[in-house]
């Protein structure tokens, strides 16, 4: 054995070591991630090498439908029937594409990797970039003819967008402008609601035929299932479901035909011919009928997912708990009980084939990207749409539901490590060791995936907003961090983001921003009292509260204009047919048909706000170092000539994230003020408003328009992320950080939150690292009822970037035996040494 490897990877023993990996132990066995098959390597490389593009098929077909005879006739029908027919037209007429090697078929667009174009939303923004599509940060490759067509279709669709329909009226235009240059908030619902985790369990077990026949029965009888008469809207809804099912079946059939044609081609190898015939048989059967095999189960989920993508908008369309949904089919495939945790029970060949199937499925999610102009992308970069797969967790009775498939989905992801899908792992007291260790093994690869979710905190938060216990226990992740009871919920989970620190700036200046290049001169917020009248800390808090309420109220106003437009113009029959409550009530999800309905607004810059409240309280009201007026005067000049004070606030004051109760309480206060403001609203579908704490990359865009903050943050600097501490402020290690995070009132955060924690790859390498991470996060998620954590294991390249930006990665954990130091505390030369260590894997 090569000694260099032996030292680099402590799981591999030094010469003479007993060889602990040989100890027969299920946990150790399961932690080993199997290598990809040749097929998966080929598929992965194709996806990595393929440039991104835009698919114009959807708008092209929608425009063709509008101009067709069928489309003109549909003009006279109920709006939702018209919408369903347009979707059916797209699904029927889109060209099927079967790619080499894939085991799950169904092209997401006409391009191998392409963004679908949603004229109903904000896709038109891409026209801003039309002259530089190939040179953008995320280059998009289009032929000259395609660019001309994009322009044409863009102009056709612009007047049909939800924003034009809802805000393009006198009196509302200023809000329209705010959407273009967000400051206090950004209303993401303008783009689309999407963000759904549908009832894939029913799709797999019952097939769409069940919902179709239920709709058919209601139409035939003219009655709802409860026997009451159905009105015209309800009958139109049932018709829309049936039309949409027809469209999905047509798409599946065309894919089957394409597979059969390929199988018949002389150039196709016999092995591939067999594969294609199996796939074709599957597409002729699912998703209309119940899936008979694991492969058909995956195929059914995928086809419905594609239909959802084409129906309205693509963000956050998630699969839910695929390990639970497909568990019975897996058990049938291997002839064992799906609840058995003994993954060794299946033969190696079985497992390897199943992992290949799962990897092929997961790779399909890489076919789609979001279509954001660079301006919009500033707030939402990452080029991901957030297709989440949730694994592990408890069942309806509260018992562990982890099964072998839970681990195999992670194995498959480890083989591809692509930007999609989003892997989400649920953790509870009975989560098996082998599963958590496997999750940590994947985390060690450095892709930031899977994220971990604490069942106790999340189930509690959902129950607090009225979700029944059994349904809350069944939660799945939407997109990145949002949560829902799958197949029962319509949650506009990403409706808007609010700039919380800006509310504090406004509170300190009567509802206006501090002067400066970042600031708007307008009266942005409520006219709270002037600083001279804020005599106590409680007065400051009251002014802040008033500003938060004012910002949230304004978002409520904008959403109240959007919601009727959704009801009228953007109904979603596919989404509704996989959401419980809709067929029962005869209502589309946009009409409030779902069993649970919600709208969620996220706060950005939580820790910056909390730390600022703490700094302000301590400096002005406790230490009485200066008057509030004097301090605010310093803030309005962005700490000009006040660097010592600014540094003192940043380096010497207490901060959230260090296990310091006083600082943590201020962050919780900020979160609670926000949650109070959110909780006072409801949406027009009859659903509750719920708060979430994540930022996307809005921390950068909101930060650029936010003034200096009492915690020493300069005007224009980016804001803290999710419920993570402020960059540069947590210096007490991961245990203190997680304790602080767990101390927040997350039981009120029904839309979840994002916490980032960073480690140096060298520190947490090998089995020692896995053991340490597993026990660390079990303590946080189980003992402390923590809600969520995303773990970033940083390689040497990232560490180099950290060095250049001293405040970027201060909470990076570096550990060397017997050595006492923090990364950010070290001189640049020593940081270089540490980086070199990580780069070479030596020591």
Partner 1 sequence: MACTDPAASVGGASASPAPLIFAIQHFCIHDGPGTRSVVFFKGCPLRCQWCQNPESWRRETELAHKGHLCIDCDTCVDVCPTGALTAPGVWDPARCDLCLRCVDACPAAAMVRFGEPRSADDVLAALQPEFNLYRRSAGGVTLSGGEATLFVPLATEIAQRLKNQAIHSTLETCGLFKLAAVQPLLAAIDLVLFDLKLFDDEAHRAQCGAGNAGVKENLRALVRRAASGAGPRVWPRLPIIPGITSVADNVTGWASLLQEIGVRGVTLVPYHQFGAGKRSWLPDAPAAPELGALSPAELARSAAILAAHGVQSFAPGAEDWRLAGGVATRG
What tokens appear for 198 in the block?
């549908």
623 interacts with partner 1 by CB under 8 A: no
839 interacts with partner 1 by CB under 8 A: no
779 interacts with partner 1 by CB under 8 A: yes
Measured CA distances, 323 to 386, 415, 438, 472, 537 (Å): 18, 18, 15, 17, 51
523 interacts with partner 1 by CB under 8 A: no
Choosing from 25, 100, 623, 825, the residue that interacts with partner 1 (CB under 8 A) is 825
396 or 768: CB nearest partner 1: 768
Choosing from 205, 339, 732, 807, the residue that interacts with partner 1 (CB under 8 A) is 732
State the nearest-atom distance from the C-beta of 659 to partner 1, in Å.
7
Site for partner 1 in 2-21 (CB under 8 A): 3-4, 6-7, 10-11, 13-18, 20
257 or 771: CB nearest partner 1: 771
Choosing from 151, 180, 535, 768, the residue that interacts with partner 1 (CB under 8 A) is 768
Distance CA 678, CA 692 (A): 10
State the nearest-atom distance from the C-beta of 740 to partner 1, in Å.
11
274 or 825: CB nearest partner 1: 825
Q: Which helix (H) or strand (E) holds 243?
A: helix 232-264
**Which listed range, 519-527, 540-548, 585-593, 726-734, lies at the site for partner 1 (CB under 8 A)?**
726-734
Cα-flanking dihedrals φ and ψ of residue 107, to 5°? -70, 135
Distance CA 217, CA 223 (A): 8
State the nearest-atom distance from the C-beta of 12 to partner 1, in Å.
9
What tokens appear for 242 in the block?
């049936």
Distance CA 745, CA 549 (A): 19
198 or 769: CB nearest partner 1: 769
State the nearest-atom distance from the C-beta of 749 to partner 1, in Å.
23
529 or 766: CB nearest partner 1: 766
Choosing from 734, 753, 786, 810, the residue that interacts with partner 1 (CB under 8 A) is 734
Query: Beta strand 422-427 with 482-484: parallel, antiparallel or unpaired?
Result: unpaired
308 interacts with partner 1 by CB under 8 A: no
Residue 719 makes CB contacts below 8 A (sequence gap 6+) with 499, 501, 604, 605, 608, 695, 698, 699, 700, 702, 703, 706, 713
Distance CA 699, CA 345 (A): 47
Site for partner 1 in 384-443 (CB under 8 A): none
32 interacts with partner 1 by CB under 8 A: no
665 interacts with partner 1 by CB under 8 A: no
State the nearest-atom distance from the C-beta of 828 to partner 1, in Å.
7
Query: Beta strand 688-692 with 185-186: parallel, antiparallel or unpaired?
Result: unpaired
Rg of the chain in Å (alpha carbons) = 27
445 or 782: CB nearest partner 1: 782
Choosing from 284, 684, 733, 747, the residue that interacts with partner 1 (CB under 8 A) is 733
58 or 767: CB nearest partner 1: 767
Angle between helices 57-67 and 79-93 (to 10 degrees): 120
Distance CA 405, CA 408 (A): 5
Is 17 strand, coil or helix? Answer: coil
E strands, 576-726, are 596-604, 688-692
Distance CA 519, CA 46 (A): 46
Instruction: Write the DSSP symbol of residue 400.
Output: B
Site string for partner 1, 163-182 (x = CB under 8 A): --------------------
249 touches 218 (CB < 8 A): no
708 touches 714 (CB < 8 A): yes
Sign of CA dihedral 539, 543, 549, 553: positive
The closest of 699, 776, 694, 698 to 734, measured between CA atoms, is 776
**Which listed range, 64-72, 357-365, 677-685, 833-841, lies at the site for partner 1 (CB under 8 A)?**
833-841
- Interface size with partner 1, residues (CB under 8 A): 60
725 touches 656 (CB < 8 A): yes
37 interacts with partner 1 by CB under 8 A: no
State the nearest-atom distance from the C-beta of 515 to partner 1, in Å.
26
**CB-based burial label for 720 (10 Å; 0-12, 13-18, 19+):** buried
163 or 709: CB nearest partner 1: 709
535 or 768: CB nearest partner 1: 768
State the nearest-atom distance from the C-beta of 20 to partner 1, in Å.
6
Site string for partner 1, 329-368 (x = CB under 8 A): ----------------------------------------
The closest of 36, 15, 19 to 28, measured between CA atoms, is 19
Site for partner 1 in 737-756 (CB under 8 A): 739
**Which listed range, 193-201, 239-247, 586-594, 825-833, lies at the site for partner 1 (CB under 8 A)?**
825-833
State the nearest-atom distance from the C-beta of 729 to partner 1, in Å.
12
Site for partner 1 in 625-664 (CB under 8 A): 643-645, 647-648, 651-652, 659
Distance CA 704, CA 702 (A): 5
607 interacts with partner 1 by CB under 8 A: no
Choosing from 46, 130, 826, 839, the residue that interacts with partner 1 (CB under 8 A) is 826
Choosing from 44, 83, 165, 778, the residue that interacts with partner 1 (CB under 8 A) is 778
State the nearest-atom distance from the C-beta of 665 to partner 1, in Å.
16
Sign of CA dihedral 245, 249, 250, 255: positive
134 interacts with partner 1 by CB under 8 A: no
What tokens appear for 582 in the block?
């809709």
Distance CA 590, CA 492 (A): 10
Is 639 strand, coil or helix? Answer: coil
25 interacts with partner 1 by CB under 8 A: no
The closest of 160, 183, 184, 162 to 172, measured between CA atoms, is 162
What tokens appear for 166 in the block?
């809802």
Choosing from 623, 775, 801, 805, the residue that interacts with partner 1 (CB under 8 A) is 775
Choosing from 240, 763, 788, 798, the residue that interacts with partner 1 (CB under 8 A) is 763
Distance CA 571, CA 589 (A): 7
CB atoms closer than 10 angstroms to residue 38: 9
335 or 644: CB nearest partner 1: 644
The closest of 809, 787, 789, 813 to 799, measured between CA atoms, is 809
State the nearest-atom distance from the C-beta of 651 to partner 1, in Å.
4
Choosing from 771, 795, 800, 808, the residue that interacts with partner 1 (CB under 8 A) is 771
Distance CA 74, CA 84 (A): 10
**Which listed range, 285-293, 335-343, 468-476, 776-784, lies at the site for partner 1 (CB under 8 A)?**
776-784
Q: What is the DSSP string of 694-761?
A: --TTHHHHHHHT----TTSPPTTPPPPPTTSPPTT---S-HHHHHHHHHHS-GGG-TT-B--EEEEET
State the nearest-atom distance from the C-beta of 548 to partner 1, in Å.
31
Choosing from 184, 305, 545, 767, the residue that interacts with partner 1 (CB under 8 A) is 767
**Which listed range, 113-121, 504-512, 574-582, 815-823, lies at the site for partner 1 (CB under 8 A)?**
815-823
Sign of CA dihedral 452, 455, 457, 460: positive
804 interacts with partner 1 by CB under 8 A: no
Choosing from 593, 687, 769, 786, the residue that interacts with partner 1 (CB under 8 A) is 769
Which residues here bind partner 1, judged by CB under 8 A? Answer: 3-4, 6-7, 10-11, 13-18, 20, 643-645, 647-648, 651-652, 659, 732-736, 739, 763-764, 766-769, 771-772, 775-776, 778-779, 783-784, 813, 815-821, 825-830, 833-834, 837, 842-843
């Amino acid at each position: 054995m090569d000694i260099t490897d032996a030292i680099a990877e402590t799981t591999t023993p030094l010469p003479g070591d007993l060889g602990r990996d040989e100890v027969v132990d299920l946990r150790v066995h399961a932690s080993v991630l199997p290598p990809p098959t040749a097929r998966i390597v080929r598929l992965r490389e194709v996806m990595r090498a393929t440039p991104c593009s835009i698919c114009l098929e959807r708008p092209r077909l929608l425009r063709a439908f509008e101009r067709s005879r069928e489309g003109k006739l549909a003009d006279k029908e109920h709006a939702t029937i018209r919408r369903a027919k347009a979707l059916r037209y797209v699904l029927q007429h889109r060209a099927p594409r079967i790619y080499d090697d894939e085991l799950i078929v169904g092209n997401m667009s006409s391009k191998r990797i392409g963004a679908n174009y949603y004229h109903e939303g904000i896709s038109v923004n891409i026209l801003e970039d039309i002259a530089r599509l190939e040179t953008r940060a995320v280059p998009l490759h289009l032929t000259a003819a395609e660019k001309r067509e994009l322009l044409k279709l863009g102009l056709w669709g612009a007047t049909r967008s939800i924003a034009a329909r809802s805000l393009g009226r006198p009196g509302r235009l200023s809000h329209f402008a705010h959407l273009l240059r967000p400051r206090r908030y950004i209303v993401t619902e303008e783009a689309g609601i999407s963000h759904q985790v549908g009832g894939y369990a029913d799709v797999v077990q019952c097939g769409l035929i069940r919902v179709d026949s239920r709709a058919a029965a209601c139409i035939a009888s003219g009655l709802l299932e409860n026997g009451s008469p159905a009105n015209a809207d309800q009958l139109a809804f049932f018709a829309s479901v049936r039309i949409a099912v027809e469209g999905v079946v047509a798409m599946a059939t065309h894919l089957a035909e394409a597979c059969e044609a390929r199988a018949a081609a002389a150039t196709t190898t016999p092995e591939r011919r067999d594969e294609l015939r199996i796939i074709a048989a599957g597409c002729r059967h699912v998703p209309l009928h119940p899936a008979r095999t694991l492969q058909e189960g995956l195929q059914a989920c995928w086809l419905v997912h594609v239909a959802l993508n084409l129906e309205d908008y693509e963000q956050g369309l998630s699969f839910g708990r695929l390990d639970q949904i497909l568990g019975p089919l897996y058990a049938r495939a291997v002839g064992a009980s799906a609840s058995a945790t003994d993954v060794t029970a299946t033969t190696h060949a079985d497992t390897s084939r199943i992992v290949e199937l799962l990897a092929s499925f997961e790779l399909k999610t890489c076919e789609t990207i979001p279509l954001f102009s660079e301006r919009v992308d500033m707030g939402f970069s990452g080029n991901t749409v957030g297709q989440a797969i949730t694994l592990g967790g408890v069942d309806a009775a509260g018992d562990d539901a982890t099964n072998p498939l839970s681990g195999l989905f992670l194995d498959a992801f480890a083989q591809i490590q692509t930007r999609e899908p989003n892997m989400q792992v649920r953790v509870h007291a009975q989560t098996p060791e082998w599963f958590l260790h496997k999750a940590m093994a994947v985390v060690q690869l450095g892709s930031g995936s899977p994220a971990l979710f604490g069942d106790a905190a999340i189930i509690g938060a959902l129950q607090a907003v009225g979700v029944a216990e059994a349904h809350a226990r069944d939660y799945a992740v939407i997109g990145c961090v949002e949560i829902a009871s799958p197949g029962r919920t319509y949650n506009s989970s990403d409706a808007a983001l609010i700039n919380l620190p800006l509310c504090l700036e406004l509170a300190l200046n009567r509802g206006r921003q501090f002067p400066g290049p970042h600031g708007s001169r307008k009266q942005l917020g409520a006219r709270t009292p002037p600083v001279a009248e804020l005599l106590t800390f409680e007065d400051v808090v009251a002014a802040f509260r008033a500003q938060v309420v004012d910002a949230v109220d304004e978002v409520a106003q904008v959403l109240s204009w959007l919601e009727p437009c959704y009801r009228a113009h953007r109904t979603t029959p596919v989404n509704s047919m996989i959401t419980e409550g809709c067929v029962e009530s005869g209502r589309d999800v946009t009409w409030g048909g779902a069993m649970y309905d919600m709208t969620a607004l996220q706060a950005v810059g939580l820790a910056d706000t909390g730390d600022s409240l703490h700094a302000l309280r301590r400096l002005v009201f406790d230490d009485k170092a200066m008057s509030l007026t004097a301090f605010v005067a310093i803030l309005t000049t962005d700490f000009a000539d006040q660097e010592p004070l600014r540094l003192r606030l940043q380096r010497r004051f207490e901060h959230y994230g260090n296990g310091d109760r006083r600082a943590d309480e201020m962050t919780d206060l900020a979160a609670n003020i926000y949650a109070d403001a959110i909780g006072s609203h409801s949406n027009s579908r009859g659903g509750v408003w719920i708060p979430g704490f994540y930022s996307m990359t809005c921390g950068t865009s909101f930060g650029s328009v936010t003034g200096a903050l009492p915690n020493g943050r300069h005007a224009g600097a980016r804001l803290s992320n999710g419920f993570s501490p402020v960059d540069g402020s947590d210096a007490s290690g991961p245990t203190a950080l997680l304790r602080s995070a767990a101390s927040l009132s997350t039981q009120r955060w029904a839309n979840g939150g994002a916490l980032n924690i960073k480690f140096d790859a060298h520190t947490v390498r090998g089995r020692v690292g896995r053991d340490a991470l597993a026990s660390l996060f079990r303590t946080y998620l189980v003992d402390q009822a923590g809600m969520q954590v995303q773990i970033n294991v940083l390689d040497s390249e990232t560490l180099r970037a950290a060095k250049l930006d001293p405040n970027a990665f201060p909470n990076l954990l570096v550990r060397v035996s017997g050595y006492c130091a923090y990364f950010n505390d070290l001189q640049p030369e020593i940081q270089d040494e540490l980086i070199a260590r990580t780069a070479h894997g030596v020591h």
